[in-house]
Amino acid sequence: MALKILSVVGARPNFMKVAAICEAIKGISSLGAAEQIHHVLVHTGQHYDSNMSDSFFNDLELPQPDLCLGVGSASHSTQTARIMERFESVVLNEQPHLVLVVGDVNSTAACALVAKKTWCRGDEGANDFIPKLAHVEAGLRSFDRTMPEEINRIVTDSISDYLFTTEESANQNLLHEGIPENRIFFVGNVMIDTLLRHRSKAQESTILQDLQLADGCEVKPYAILTLHKPANVDDKRVFCAMLDAFLDISKRMPVIFPAHPRTLKRIQDEDLGDYFVDHFVQGPEPWDSRVRIRLVPPLGYLDFLRLMSEARVVRLPLSMALTSWRARIRKRLSERLTVYPGMNRVRIDLPVTGTGMQLNESSKRWSMIFALSDL
DSSP string, 259-273: --HHHHHHHHHTT-G
**108 or 317, greater pLDDT:** 108
pLDDT tops 80 at residue 293: yes
Three-class SS of 70-115: CCCCCCHHHHHHHHHHHHHHHHHHHCCCEEEEECCCHHHHHHHHHH
Question: 298: pLDDT confidence band, cut at 50, 70 and 90?
Answer: confident
Q: For residues 256-283, give the mean pLDDT.
A: 82
More confidently predicted of 350 and 307: 307
Q: What is the mean pLDDT of the segment spanning 314-327?
A: 39
302, 195 in Cβ contact below 8 A?
no
What pLDDT score was predicted for residue 319? Answer: 34
pLDDT given at position 351: 38
76 an active-site residue? Answer: no
Which of 176, 228, 260, 279 is an active site residue? 228
Residue 247 has pLDDT above 60, yes or no: yes
Which CATH number is associated with domain 204-374?
A: 3.40.50
Question: Which residues neighbour 28 within 8 Å (Cβ) at sequence distance 6 or greater?
Answer: 37
Query: Does residue 328 carry a pLDDT above 80?
Result: no
- The phi and psi torsions of 224 (rounded to 5 degrees) equal -115, 140
* Domain 3-199 matches domain 204-374 at the CATH topology level: yes
Whether 60 and 16 have beta carbons less than 8 Å apart is answered as yes
Better-scored residue on pLDDT, 26 or 369: 26
Nearest to 9 by CA among 44, 37, 33, 35: 44
The average pLDDT across 294-302 equals 90
pLDDT band at 366 (very low <50, low <70, confident <90, very high): very low
In angstroms, the CA 56 to CA 60 distance is 6
Region 155-181: mean pLDDT is: 97
Mean pLDDT over 235-262 rounds to 88
pLDDT tens, 44-88?
998 766 666 678 888 998 889 999 999 998 899 999 999 999 999
Instruction: Between 2 and 53, name the one with better pLDDT.
Output: 2
Q: pLDDT tens-digit profile of 8-23? A: 999 888 999 999 999 9
* 178 has pLDDT over 90: yes
Counting Cα atoms < 13 Å in the Cβ hemisphere of 136 gives: 23
pLDDT band per the 50, 70, 90 thresholds, residue 280: low
Is the pLDDT at 232 greater than 90? The verdict is no
248 has pLDDT over 90: no
CB 262 within 8 A of CB 351: no
When pLDDT is cut at 50, 70 and 90, the band that residue 345 belongs to is low
Per mean pLDDT, which range of 25-29, 57-61, 327-331 is the poorest?
A: 327-331
For the domain spanning 3-199, the CATH number is 3.40.50.2000
Domain segments of the chain as ranges: 3-199, 204-374
Please tell me which residue, 295 or 346, carries the higher pLDDT value. 295
